[in-house]
Amino acid sequence: MRTGVWLIGARGSVAVTSMLGASAVRAGMAEPIGCVLESPELHSDALPAIGELVFGGHDISSVPLVKKAAALGEAGIVPARLAVAVQDVLLEIEQDVRPLPDHGTQAEVADAIGADLDRFRRRHDLDHVVVINVSTTEPAPPPHPAHADLDALHAALDGPEPVLPPSALAAYAALRAGCPYVDFTPSTGARLPALDALARAQGLPYAGHDGKTGETLVKSVLAPMFRMRNMKVRAWSGTNLLGGGDGANLAEPAANAAKSASKQRVLRETLGYTPQGETRIDFVEDLDDFKTAWDLISFEGFLGTRMRMEFTWHGCDSALAAPLVLDLARLTAAAHRAGRTGPLTELAFFFKDPLGEVPHALSEQWQVLRAAVEALG
Amino acid sequence: MRTGVWLIGARGSVAVTSMLGASAVRAGMAEPIGCVLESPELHSDALPAIGELVFGGHDISSVPLVKKAAALGEAGIVPARLAVAVQDVLLEIEQDVRPLPDHGTQAEVADAIGADLDRFRRRHDLDHVVVINVSTTEPAPPPHPAHADLDALHAALDGPEPVLPPSALAAYAALRAGCPYVDFTPSTGARLPALDALARAQGLPYAGHDGKTGETLVKSVLAPMFRMRNMKVRAWSGTNLLGGGDGANLAEPAANAAKSASKQRVLRETLGYTPQGETRIDFVEDLDDFKTAWDLISFEGFLGTRMRMEFTWHGCDSALAAPLVLDLARLTAAAHRAGRTGPLTELAFFFKDPLGEVPHALSEQWQVLRAAVEALG
Amino acid sequence: MRTGVWLIGARGSVAVTSMLGASAVRAGMAEPIGCVLESPELHSDALPAIGELVFGGHDISSVPLVKKAAALGEAGIVPARLAVAVQDVLLEIEQDVRPLPDHGTQAEVADAIGADLDRFRRRHDLDHVVVINVSTTEPAPPPHPAHADLDALHAALDGPEPVLPPSALAAYAALRAGCPYVDFTPSTGARLPALDALARAQGLPYAGHDGKTGETLVKSVLAPMFRMRNMKVRAWSGTNLLGGGDGANLAEPAANAAKSASKQRVLRETLGYTPQGETRIDFVEDLDDFKTAWDLISFEGFLGTRMRMEFTWHGCDSALAAPLVLDLARLTAAAHRAGRTGPLTELAFFFKDPLGEVPHALSEQWQVLRAAVEALG
Amino acid sequence: MRTGVWLIGARGSVAVTSMLGASAVRAGMAEPIGCVLESPELHSDALPAIGELVFGGHDISSVPLVKKAAALGEAGIVPARLAVAVQDVLLEIEQDVRPLPDHGTQAEVADAIGADLDRFRRRHDLDHVVVINVSTTEPAPPPHPAHADLDALHAALDGPEPVLPPSALAAYAALRAGCPYVDFTPSTGARLPALDALARAQGLPYAGHDGKTGETLVKSVLAPMFRMRNMKVRAWSGTNLLGGGDGANLAEPAANAAKSASKQRVLRETLGYTPQGETRIDFVEDLDDFKTAWDLISFEGFLGTRMRMEFTWHGCDSALAAPLVLDLARLTAAAHRAGRTGPLTELAFFFKDPLGEVPHALSEQWQVLRAAVEALG
Ligand SMILES: NC(=O)c1ccc[n+]([C@@H]2O[C@H](COP(=O)([O-])OP(=O)(O)OC[C@H]3O[C@@H](n4cnc5c(N)ncnc54)[C@H](O)[C@@H]3O)[C@@H](O)[C@H]2O)c1
Ligand SMILES: NC(=O)c1ccc[n+]([C@@H]2O[C@H](COP(=O)([O-])OP(=O)(O)OC[C@H]3O[C@@H](n4cnc5c(N)ncnc54)[C@H](O)[C@@H]3O)[C@@H](O)[C@H]2O)c1
Ligand SMILES: NC(=O)c1ccc[n+]([C@@H]2O[C@H](COP(=O)([O-])OP(=O)(O)OC[C@H]3O[C@@H](n4cnc5c(N)ncnc54)[C@H](O)[C@@H]3O)[C@@H](O)[C@H]2O)c1
Ligand SMILES: NC(=O)c1ccc[n+]([C@@H]2O[C@H](COP(=O)([O-])OP(=O)(O)OC[C@H]3O[C@@H](n4cnc5c(N)ncnc54)[C@H](O)[C@@H]3O)[C@@H](O)[C@H]2O)c1
Ligand code: NA
Ligand code: NA
C-alpha cells in the first residue's frame, strides 16, 4: 500500500525527524524504537510499512531539508551520522516540499493546496495521502458563524476576509482533495462542525489533537494510579521548560493558553474533579528541543495524611513526536482504506486533547487502539 | 457478615493504623480514602463493610495499642485527634491482642496459635477470621525438604528443630484453624508447596506478597507506559530511604535482599527484559514512617536518542498500607465465603510480588480485580 | 537592653510565629534553631537577648493572636503544643497590637502611627523600638516627585491624595518617631531618597529588603559555586509554588512581579551576566505555608559540555522567616544604639534584595555580617 | 615556563580529555571554561599558561589516544569535531605515553618510572614535571611498618613482596626523580609518613586527594549554607549513579568504600556533627561518563519544624575533572618553582578529601586559594 504523508510544517523539527527517521529505518540503519505500531501486540498486515511511506509537504520557511537535518544532528536530536547518511533521500523529498500557497481568497488558497496534493499523489502513484499538521501552533481563532455550517463556509471562503485559521484551511483543502487529515498540534484543524460535515460528506476520517509526548503522557498513567488507589489528588502543578521553534512560539501567550488547556484536561477527565494547580510553559532557548517538565503532585491518603510526589521529565520532543507521526500516518491510511469516516476517536492514545468522549487513562486508550488495529484485520 | 481480622504483628505501625482507621471510619470521623473497595466501580454487597471488621492479633511486643496510637499521632502518621478519639475502641481490641505463643515444638506453637484463633472466633461469633501478616520482614529461610510435602511437614514440626520461619508457621496454624491467610510482607508465609497443599485440603484461600504502596506502585504504571510507547528502558535505579521499625529491620542485609528482589520483578515482567540498575533500601531513622524514594530512568527513543525521567515519592508508609490491609481482609473473607481455595491471584493489584503468573501492569491488575469483585455478586 | 519590636502586619503568619517563637525560647521550651545570632561565631554582648524583646504592632486584620497561633499549630507550621503553651504571653501582646490608623490625610495617619509607637515605648519603658514590616507585599507604587525630596514630601502628605504606599508611610512615621525601620518584604519601605534623607536627619538606621528564606538563599550559594569553578550558567529557571496569605497575595500580577525581580538579582550580581530563564511564583492554596521551589540550572563546562542541576526546596516559610525577624530586630536595635545611620548594608545576608552595592554571595555576606557584629563589641 | 604533565592513567577518560582540551584551548578552538585559574581574580604571571603544558604518562592499557578521543567524542563527553581536530597533537603525545614498568622488585619498578620521567624532561627540555595520578582508584592497601619510615621503606622496596600500592609507588618514584606529585584519586598516593619525609627531603610539594567535581562540590556550598543559617541538618543521604571505567571500578566494594568515605567528610567538618544518612555509589554502565547524583537533605528549622531539600546533579565527570587537572598542574609547577615543600594544603578547593586541617566550605577554600595565587606573585 503506497502511502503519501503530506506534512504541513514540512521543514520543522518534527517533520524532518520523521522523514529522516523513516528513511533510516527503511535503510536498516535504525530500529523503529518509539513506533507504537512496531510492538508485537499491534502488528497488522492492513497497515502500510514504514518503508512504504512517501513524504511531501508545505511550509512557509525555505530552509533546505538537508540543512535542517544537519542542524538536528548538531543539536543531538538525531544522530549526526544519520543526518549525513540519508542526505540523498532528503534531497529527493525536497522535490515534494512546496511553499504554502498564499495568493487570493481562502477559497483560492484551498484550491492551490488541493492542486499540490493531487500532483503529489499522481507523481508517486499513491493509494492514499494523509495530511498531517506539524506546523507552528496557532492561537485559537475568533469564532465565525460559517464554522458551524458547511454551505456557509463554502460561501464565506470566497470572500475577501480570512474565515479559517491556517490549520483549518489546510484541513478543508485536504478533505476536499480526498485526503484524511490529522492534527498533531493543538490548533483548530478539522475541529469545526462544518469540517466534520465535510469529512463525512467526503467519506473521510480525521484525527487529533496535539501529540502526547511528555508531561501529559506521564499524567495519563499517574492520574489513573491515584484514581485506582482511591487517593485524593489535592494539587497538581506543572512547569514545562522548552526551547526550539515550538518553545519560542509557545512563549506567545495565546499559543501558550491553547497548549496549557490541552495539558490539564487529562486530570479532570481521569480523576473526576480538577485538582488545584496550573501547567506552565516557559521558553528557555538554551534547552533547544530538549524539554524539561517538572510536576509536583500533592495528595491525600488514609485519614487525611498528606503526601507528595514529583517527577522530572527530560525528553527530546522531536524524537518523541516523530515516531508517533509515522504511526498516525499508517493508521489513518489504513482507516481510510477500511472506509472509516469522521473522527478517529480510537486514536486517543496519541493525543493530549483527543476527539470525542474517550477514556484518558493511557492503558484504556491502548486497549481501544489495540482493538481498532485488530479490527483492521 | 461479621469478619475477624487477626493481625500478626498487631502492635506495629501498619496494624495499629488499620485498627484506628477502621474505627474512625466506622464512627464517621474519617473518610475511607485509599480504601480501594470504596471506589464506586468496586462496590459489592458480597463484601463485609469496614464497620463489620473485628480486630485481634499476635505480637512479640507488649506496647499497649493506645500508646502506639499516640506515638503515631505525634509523628504525624495519623491525626493526633483521631488517636485520642478512638482510645476506647483500642482498649477493647487490646483484649484480643495476645503474646505470640513460643513454648515447645513448632507443632505445639501452631496448636497454641490455633487455640487463640478459635477463642477469638467464638468470643465475637465471627463468620470468618482472616489472618494477615503485618509483622517484621524475615530473612529468607534455609530450604528444608519438609517444605515440599505436607505429610513430611506435619512430622517435622513435631521435632525439636524449627522447620518453618515464623510467617510460615503462622500460615500453617491459620490454615489448620480454618482461616484464610494473607501475607502483606515479603516473608515466606503460605508460599511453600506443603502449605499450598494444606490450603487446598482445607478448602481455604490465601494471598500475598508484600503490599505495593510506593516506589513499586509507581513502577507498575510507568513501566507499562514505556512498553506501550515501545521505548527502550536502558537503566532504572531506585533508592528508598526510610525510617520506622520497618526501615530499621530492612537495614539488615538479609531482609533488604528479600525486599529489593520483590521490588524489581515488575520491570522484568512488564518490559520483557531487565534494565540495568538496582533498587536500594537505606535506613534513615530520622525519616520515621515517611519514606522517600527516588528513581532515575534512562530510556532510548526514536533513532536511539537518550532521555531521562526521575521521580521522587514522599509517602507515609503506614497510611498507604493500612487501607489496603482493610481491603484485603474484606476481599479474602468474601472469597472464603464464595468457596475459593488456593492462591488468590486476582489480588495481584495489592502486591509487589504477587502469587501466580499474573499481569504486573497496574491497570491490568485492576481489570482483574474488578472482574473478581463482580464475580462475588 | 529592653528592645521593642513593632511589627507591621502583626497578625500575619511571620509575625505570630516570631512572637510565639521568642516566647517559647524565653520560656526554655524551644531551641533558637535558625536564629543566626545564636551561632557561636556571632555572639556579642552588645545584642539584646531574644528574651528581652517586647512585641507590639499594627494590622488591618482583627483575628486574635491566640486564634492565629492555633491555626499555625493545626497547619503544622509551629508545634501545636507550643501554640497552647504560650497563650498567656500572646494575650498580653494582644494589648499592644492595634488597628492600623487610617483616618485623615497621610500626614495625620503618620502622626497616629507615631503616637502608637510612643505609647508602646512608654508603656514598656523601652530603650529602642525597631519597626519591622512583615505585612502583605504591595505592588510597586506610581512614581511621585515628592519621593525624591523630604521637604516636598512633608508638604505633599498634608494633601488629600495618598503620596506614599503603606510601607513607606509606615517607614516615614517610624523614622519621625525615632524608630529604626526594617523591611522584610519587597515593598517600598524606606527605599526613597526623601526617606533616606529623613533617616539621616534623625540619626536612624534602616534595613531591607525581602527576607531571604528559600530559593534565593540556595541561589546565593550555588551561583557563587558556578562562578568559583568558572563554569558558564546558561539558563536558570525557577518555579515557586506556595499557599498561605502570602501566596494568595503574590498570585496578584503586580506583587508577583515585585517579588520575582528581587529573586533574580542574585544571579546577575554574582555571575556578572544574566542567564536565560525566569522565576515564577504560583499560588497553590493547598500547600499553605509549605512552599515548594524547583529550579533547573543548565550549565556549560569544559569544551562546551552541557550539564544540568536541579533542586527542590520544601520549606516552611514562616518557620524560616521568624528567626530572621528576631535577628534583624536585635541587630538593628544594637546598630541604633551604636549610632549607625542610613542603610545597614551589612545586613545583606538576610535579604533577597539588599540595600547598597553589596556582595550577593552568601559567604561574603556572612563575613560582612560577622565583622559588623564584632564591631558592635 | 615549559611545564611537563605526566599522567598516571594517561589513556583514561580524564587524562585524554585533559590533553585534548589543552590542545584545543592552545589552538584557539575552545574556551577554557571550567579552568579555575582563568577567572580574572586568579590571574598570575607566575603560572605557566595552558598552552605551555607538555603531556606524557604511564598506563597499563594500550588503547591509542586517538582512538580513546574518538570514543569520548562519540559518547558526547567532548565535541566530536574537536576529537578529530587535535588528532595530530594526540599522535605526538602518544610518543610520550609509555607502558607502566612492571618488572622486578618495587625498587626496580620505581627506578624504571624515574627513568621515564627523566627521558620526558630531557626530550622536551622542561623546567618542571608534575606527576598527576588519574588512574583507576585502588582499594586501601594493608598497613605496613615501612609506610611510616623512609629508611625502612627504601629497604623494604628491595624485597620480593610489594610494599606500596601502585599510586604510592608512583609517588615515590616521582619524588625521587625530583617531580612534585598530585593525586586526583582517593588512592594512597603520597599520603604516607615515609613519602611525606621523602618530599621534604627532596624539597618537593605534593597535593591531593580526590578531585571534587560533583556531589561533594555541591555539598561544600550547601552544608555551609545550613551552618551559616544555624539550621540543624538531621539527615543527608546521597546516591551516585555512574558508568564509565571509573564507575565500573567503584562498583568494587573496596574502592567504593574509599570513595564514599571521602564524600562524607565535608559534612562532619563543616557542620561540626555527622547527620544521619549515607553516600552510595552504584555502577550503571549505560550512563557512561554522565553521572547522576541525587541527595536528600532533611533539616530542622525554628521550633523544630521539619523541612527538606533535594538536588539532582547530572554532570559529565571527565569534563568536570579535566580543567581541574590543568589547574593543578599549573599551580603545582608554580609552587615547586616558588620553593614550596610538603603538602599543598592551599589546594583544598580542588579536593574531596584535602590534605591537612583545612576549611571544607568552598568559599573559604577559594579565599585560601586566592591568597596562595597572589603570593606566587
Ligand atoms: N514535538 C513534540 O513533542 C510535539 C508534541 C505535540 C505537539 N507538537 C506540535 O508540533 C508542531 C511542530 O513542532 P516543531 O518542534 O516541529 O516546531 P518547529 O518550529 O520546528 O516547526 C514548525 C514548522 O512549521 C512551519 N510553519 C509555520 N506556520 C506554517 C503554516 N501556516 N503553514 C505551513 N508551515 C508553517 C514553520 O516554518 C516550521 O518549519 C508544533 O505546533 C508543536 O506544538 C509537538
Ligand atoms: N507500610 C508499608 O507501606 C508496607 C508495604 C509493604 C510491606 N510492609 C511490611 O509490613 C510489615 C509491617 O510494617 P510496619 O511498618 O508496621 O513495621 P513495625 O516494625 O512497625 O511493626 C512490626 C510489628 O511486628 C512485630 N513482630 C515482629 N516479629 C513478630 C513475630 N514473629 N510475630 C508477631 N509479631 C512480630 C513487632 O513487634 C512489631 O510490633 C513489614 O514487614 C513491612 O515490610 C509494609
Ligand atoms: N515567610 C517568608 O519566608 C518571607 C520571606 C520574605 C518576605 N516575606 C514577606 O513577609 C510578609 C508577610 O508574610 P506572611 O506569610 O506573614 O503573610 P500573611 O498574609 O500571613 O500576613 C500579612 C499580614 O499583614 C496584614 N496587612 C496587610 N496589609 C497591611 C497594612 N497595610 N498594614 C498592616 N498590616 C497589613 C494582613 O492583615 C496580615 O495579617 C509578606 O509580604 C511576605 O512577602 C516572607
Ligand atoms: N572524573 C571525575 O570527576 C573524577 C573526580 C575525582 C576522582 N576521579 C578519579 O580519577 C581517576 C580516573 O578516572 P577516569 O574516569 O579517567 O577513569 P578511566 O577508567 O577512564 O581511566 C583510568 C585509567 O587508568 C589506567 N590504569 C589503571 N591502573 C593503572 C596503573 N596502575 N597505572 C597506570 N595506569 C593505570 C587505566 O588503564 C585507565 O586508562 C579515577 O580514579 C577516578 O576515581 C575522577
Ligand atoms: Na526532585
Ligand atoms: Na528531581
- Other CB atoms closer than 10 Å to residue B366's CB: what's the count? 24
Substitution candidate for ligand 1 out of A11, A109, A136 with most atoms within 8 A of CB: A136
pLDDT tens readout for residues A138-172: 988 999 999 999 999 999 999 999 999 999 999 99
**Up-side HSE of residue A270: CA atoms within 13 Å toward CB?**
32
Residue pair C117/C176 in contact (Cβ under 8 Å)? The answer is no
Q: Helices (H) and strands (E) in chain C — how many of each?
A: 13, 11
Which numbered atom of ligand 3 lies nearest the CA of C135?
A: 24
Measured distance CA(B118)–CA(B123) in Å, rounded: 8
- The residue from D316, D345, D367 where one domain ends is D316
- D299 and D233 in a common domain: yes
Average pLDDT of span A191-208:
98
With a cut of 70, say whether residue A258 has pLDDT above it. no
**Is C31 in a helix, a strand, or coil?**
coil
pLDDT tens readout for residues D285-313: 888 888 999 999 999 999 999 999 999 99
Q: Quick check: bond before D209 cis, omega within 30?
A: yes
- The CA B236 to ligand 5 mean position distance, Å, reads 16
Q: Name the burial class of residue C285, with classes exposed (0-12), middle (13-18) and buried (19+) by CB atoms within 10 angstroms of its CB.
A: middle
pLDDT tens readout for residues D107-127: 999 999 999 999 999 999 999
**Is B277 in a helix, a strand, or coil?**
coil
Please indicate if any CB of chain D lies within 8 Å of the CB of B309. no
pLDDT tens readout for residues B226-241: 999 999 999 999 999 9
Which cell is D58 given? 604511564
What is the predicted pLDDT for the residue at C285?
87
How far is Cα of residue C333 from the mean position of the Cα atoms in its chain? 15
Nearest residue to B9 (alpha-carbon basis) of B46, B59, B80: B59
> Which DSSP letter does residue B148 get?
G
- Which chains neighbour A (Cβ–Cβ under 8 Å, 3 or more pairs)? B, C, D
Substitution candidate for ligand 2 out of B167, B246, B250, B252 with most atoms within 8 A of CB: B246
Measured distance CA(C284)–CA(C291) in Å, rounded: 9
Measured distance CA(C40)–CA(D286) in Å, rounded: 47
- C187 and C228 in a common domain: no
- C305 and C200 in a common domain: no
What is the predicted pLDDT for the residue at B226?
97
What is the predicted pLDDT for the residue at B244?
76
> Which DSSP letter does residue C357 get?
S
Which cell is A222 given? 499517574
Residue pair B185/B352 in contact (Cβ under 8 Å)? The answer is no
Which cell is B288 given? 520515621
Q: Do C237 and A235 lie within an 8 Å CB cutoff?
A: no
From atom 31 of ligand 2, which residue's Cα is the shortest distance away?
A: B166
Measured distance CA(A279)–CA(A295) in Å, rounded: 9
**Is C281 in a helix, a strand, or coil?**
strand
- Other CB atoms closer than 10 Å to residue A122's CB: what's the count? 9
pLDDT tens readout for residues C263-278: 778 999 999 999 999 8
> Which DSSP letter does residue A233 get?
E
Secondary element (H or E) of residue C269: helix C253-271
Residue with cell 490454615: B175
- Other CB atoms closer than 10 Å to residue B8's CB: what's the count? 32
Which cell is A31 given? 530500529
User: Which residues crowd ion ligand 5, with CB under 5 Å?
Assistant: B 312; C 312
- B14 and B75 in a common domain: yes
CA distance D304 to chain A (A): 19
> Which chain A residue shows the shortest CA-CA distance from D79?
A74
Residue pair A107/A157 in contact (Cβ under 8 Å)? The answer is yes
- B99 and B23 in a common domain: yes
Nearest residue to B58 (alpha-carbon basis) of B89, B97, B16: B97
Per-residue confidence band for A248, with pLDDT thresholds at 50, 70 and 90: confident
- Which chains neighbour C (Cβ–Cβ under 8 Å, 3 or more pairs)? A, B, D
pLDDT tens readout for residues A276-311: 998 888 888 888 888 999 999 999 999 999 999 999
- The CA A181 to ligand 6 mean position distance, Å, reads 39
pLDDT tens readout for residues C94-104: 999 999 999 99
pLDDT tens readout for residues C279-293: 888 888 888 888 999
pLDDT tens readout for residues C203-225: 999 999 999 998 999 999 999 99
Query: Does residue D188 line the site of ligand 4, with CB under 6 A?
Result: no
Please indicate if any CB of chain C lies within 8 Å of the CB of D41. no
- A155 and A12 in a common domain: yes
Nearest residue to A340 (alpha-carbon basis) of A204, A208, A178: A204
Substitution candidate for ligand 1 out of A135, A292, A313, A314 with most atoms within 8 A of CB: A135
From atom 21 of ligand 3, which residue's Cα is the shortest distance away?
A: C12
Q: Where are the beta strands (DSSP E) in chain C?
A: 3-8, 53-59, 97-99, 128-133, 181-183, 205-208, 232-242, 279-283, 290-300, 306-316, 342-343
CA angle, corner C175, sides to C172 and C180, nearest 5? Answer: 125
Q: Do B218 and A222 lie within an 8 Å CB cutoff?
A: yes
Nearest residue to D327 (alpha-carbon basis) of C230, A179, A70, C131: C230
Q: Complex ipTM, two decimals?
A: 0.94
Please indicate if any CB of chain D lies within 8 Å of the CB of B285. yes
Please indicate if any CB of chain C lies within 8 Å of the CB of A232. no
What is the predicted pLDDT for the residue at D251?
72
- D152 and D68 in a common domain: yes
Residue pair D180/D174 in contact (Cβ under 8 Å)? The answer is yes
- Other CB atoms closer than 10 Å to residue B74's CB: what's the count? 12
How far is Cα of residue A57 from the mean position of the Cα atoms in its chain? 15
- Which chains neighbour D (Cβ–Cβ under 8 Å, 3 or more pairs)? A, B, C
Residue pair A323/B301 in contact (Cβ under 8 Å)? The answer is yes
Measured distance CA(D361)–CA(A189) in Å, rounded: 58
Report strand pairing: C306-316 vs D306-316: antiparallel
Q: Do D82 and C303 lie within an 8 Å CB cutoff?
A: yes
Which cell is B128 given? 470468618
Per-residue confidence band for A251, with pLDDT thresholds at 50, 70 and 90: confident
CA distances for B98 relative to B52, B56, B246, B326, angstroms:
21, 8, 21, 20
Sheet of strand A205-208, all strands in order from the earlier edge strand to the far edge: A97-99, A53-59, A3-8, A128-133, A181-183, A205-208, A342-343
Residue pair D351/D211 in contact (Cβ under 8 Å)? The answer is yes
Interior/surface letters B289-305, b for 16+ CB within 10 angstroms, e for the rest = bbbbbbbbbbbbbbbeb
Q: Which of B277, B278, B286 sits opposite D235 (nearest CB)?
A: B286
Measured distance CA(C53)–CA(C333) in Å, rounded: 10
- What's the number of domains chain B is made of? 2
Measured distance CA(A290)–CA(A286) in Å, rounded: 9
Measured distance CA(C170)–CA(C188) in Å, rounded: 10
Q: Between helices D215-228 and D253-271, what is the axis angle to 10°?
A: 20
Query: How many residues belong to chain D?
Result: 377
Q: Do B309 and A311 lie within an 8 Å CB cutoff?
A: yes
- The CA C121 to ligand 1 mean position distance, Å, reads 67
> Which DSSP letter does residue D340 get?
-
* Residue B59 neighbours by CB under 8 Å, 6+ apart: B8, B9, B10, B11, B12, B15, B97, B99, B100, B135
- D126 and D58 in a common domain: yes
- Which chains neighbour B (Cβ–Cβ under 8 Å, 3 or more pairs)? A, C, D
What is the predicted pLDDT for the residue at C351?
97
Chain C hits for D39, CB-CB cut-off 8 Å, are 227-228, 230
Q: Do B294 and D234 lie within an 8 Å CB cutoff?
A: no
With a cut of 80, say whether residue C163 has pLDDT above it. yes
Measured distance CA(D110)–CA(C166) in Å, rounded: 78
- The residue from D316, D331, D365 where one domain ends is D316
Query: Does residue A98 line the site of ligand 1, with CB under 6 A?
Result: no
Query: Does residue A262 line the site of ligand 1, with CB under 6 A?
Result: no
What is the predicted pLDDT for the residue at A286?
86
Averaged confidence pLDDT in chain C: 94
What is the predicted pLDDT for the residue at C259?
67
What is the predicted pLDDT for the residue at B293?
96
CATH number for the domain harbouring residue D367 = 3.40.50.720
> Which DSSP letter does residue D276 get?
B
Count of A–B CB contacts within 8 Å?
A: 175
> Which DSSP letter does residue A231 get?
-
Percent of chain A with pLDDT over 70: 99
Nearest residue to B137 (alpha-carbon basis) of B290, B20, B12: B12
- The CA A245 to ligand 1 mean position distance, Å, reads 7
- Please name every residue paired with D120 in a beta bridge, in sequence order, or none if there are none: none
Measured distance CA(D309)–CA(B88) in Å, rounded: 40
Interior/surface letters C289-321, b for 16+ CB within 10 angstroms, e for the rest = bbbbbbbbbbbbbbbbbbbbbbbbbbbbbbbbb
CA distances for D302 relative to A351, C22, C303, C320, C321, angstroms:
47, 10, 44, 7, 9
Averaged confidence pLDDT in chain D: 94
Q: Do D276 and B292 lie within an 8 Å CB cutoff?
A: no
Residue pair B36/B323 in contact (Cβ under 8 Å)? The answer is yes
- D159 and D34 in a common domain: yes
Domain of D33, in residue numbers: 3-210+319-376
Q: Name the burial class of residue D122, with classes exposed (0-12), middle (13-18) and buried (19+) by CB atoms within 10 angstroms of its CB.
A: exposed
- The residue from D296, D316, D336 where one domain ends is D316
- D227 and D160 in a common domain: no
What is the predicted pLDDT for the residue at D249?
77
- D244 and D99 in a common domain: no
> Which DSSP letter does residue C236 get?
E
Which stretches of chain B drop beneath a pLDDT of 70? 258-259, 262
Phi/psi of residue A101, each to 5°? -60, 140
Q: Which of A241, A276, A277 sits opposite C237 (nearest CB)?
A: A241
Report strand pairing: B181-183 vs B128-133: parallel
CA distances for D334 relative to B181, C202, D374, angstroms:
75, 56, 12
- C128 and C53 in a common domain: yes
Residue pair D106/D157 in contact (Cβ under 8 Å)? The answer is yes
Measured distance CA(C305)–CA(B353) in Å, rounded: 42
Secondary element (H or E) of residue A280: strand A279-283
User: Which residues crowd ion ligand 6, with CB under 5 Å?
Assistant: A 312; D 312
Please tell me the number of the ligand nearest to residue C134's CA: 3
Query: How many residues belong to chain A?
Result: 377
Measured distance CA(B160)–CA(D373) in Å, rounded: 76
> Which chain A residue shows the shortest CA-CA distance from D314?
A314
Please tell me the number of the ligand nearest to residue C138's CA: 3
pLDDT tens readout for residues D169-223: 999 999 999 999 999 999 999 999 999 999 999 999 999 999 999 899 999 999 9
Chain A hits for D80, CB-CB cut-off 8 Å, are 80
CATH number for the domain harbouring residue C311 = 3.30.360.10
**Is B284 in a helix, a strand, or coil?**
coil
From atom 6 of ligand 2, which residue's Cα is the shortest distance away?
A: B211
CA distance D47 to chain C (A): 17
Which stretches of chain D drop beneath a pLDDT of 50? none
